[in-house]
Every structure is written in structure tokens, then in C-alpha cells.
Structure 1
């Protein structure tokens, strides 16, 4: 007997955790496995797996965090000699983008900028 599912209300958008997405991607990346078969088993379209691949390609499960020590703002007397400005800082964001900011940017402005860029 075939299985039948009756949806009586408005179907809502499903939310998947990063762990579930990564597990699905790992299953789809196995040799000999077709994306369509994995998608059908999870009851969504193959395009969803392709989208997750694109958006989660920067996400590394084995990533580790390094300790960070915040220091007080640098005073004008501590700027390097010869009138050179400090080298800009490149910061990789969680959504795969990178932002390049001056080394003397204020912490409050930097945190607002990063929050804004990661939300889009």
C-alpha cells in the first residue's frame, strides 16, 4: 500500500539547522549518490542541495577559534613613524564575504559593520 500524506492547513516553510544541512551535503557528496535521490528522500528539490552547497561552501566544520585580546584604542602618539598609516585589516565573514577596514577603525563601528554585512 502506498503512503499518502494529507496536508490540511497552509504548508509552512521548513527550517534546517546547519548540522542537518551539512549532513545532507555529506550524503549527497558520496560517490555514486545522485543529488536527486537524496533530495527526494528529504522531500525537497535538488536545487535546495545546490543552494546549500553554494551558501555553506565556506563553512568548515573543523574550524577552531583562536583567542583574541582587545586593546584600548591607539592614541595619536602611537601611530607608526614616517607618517605611514597602519596596513588595513582583512576580515573574513561567516557568509563568505571579506571586508577590508583601516587598522584604526573604532571597535563600535567595526562591530556594527560586521553585524550589518553578515545579516545580508
Structure 2
């Protein structure tokens, strides 16, 4: 070392970003998606991971057989006892109404269905 030369050292202080996530923890986090309308972004922020981690975990767990494969259309059982049967099915050429939800679910209603009944079904699907 020469006289007058300054040596510099950099000290990094903070949380180590590389973490280990057991499969059980990944499954638990993945199951939070859709609960109460929680999106992938919401869940990722809650657990301080990126959205890409969530998608990567889902793919890895599918490959291991720990996460179920998507079966396409799924039907939900709804308690519609308070829903009056006032659905009016009128023969028309119009297509059924299709409503997409943020949680990935889709509601299809026949043409001519009463607006109040559609609103009740929307509330049931959102809370199911």
C-alpha cells in the first residue's frame, strides 16, 4: 500500500433477500389467492414476494403434483334460498350475459333474466 492511499470498504446492512420457502408454506400462500377477493398482487405484497414468485411456485407445485391442475369450468354450490325464482326465460336470439369477476370466476345468465336476480347472484358468487 502506498502512503496516502485510502482503502474503501462497503458494508451492506439489511435483510438477506434469498429465502427458503418450504412447499407447505408455498401452498398456504397460494391458497390465499381469491379468498375475500385477494389477488395475486395482494398476496405477494402481504408476504413480501414478487408476483412472479407466486406464478413460479404454482408451476413448481403442479410439476410436483402438489397443486391441482386447472379443470376449466368449475361450478360453485350457492345457497340461493333467499333468491326468488323470478327468472324470465324468453326465447330470443340474444346471447346469455357473461360476467367476469376479479377472482377469475365467471357468471353466465340466460337472456331476459331480471336485473335484481342477477345482482343477487353476483353477490352470491363474490362471497362464495
TM-score bracket relative to the smaller structure = 0.3 to 0.5
Structure-1-length-normalised TM-score:
0.40
Structure-2-length-normalised TM-score:
0.37
Q: Computing the radius of gyration over CA atoms, which structure comes out larger, 1 or 2?
A: 2
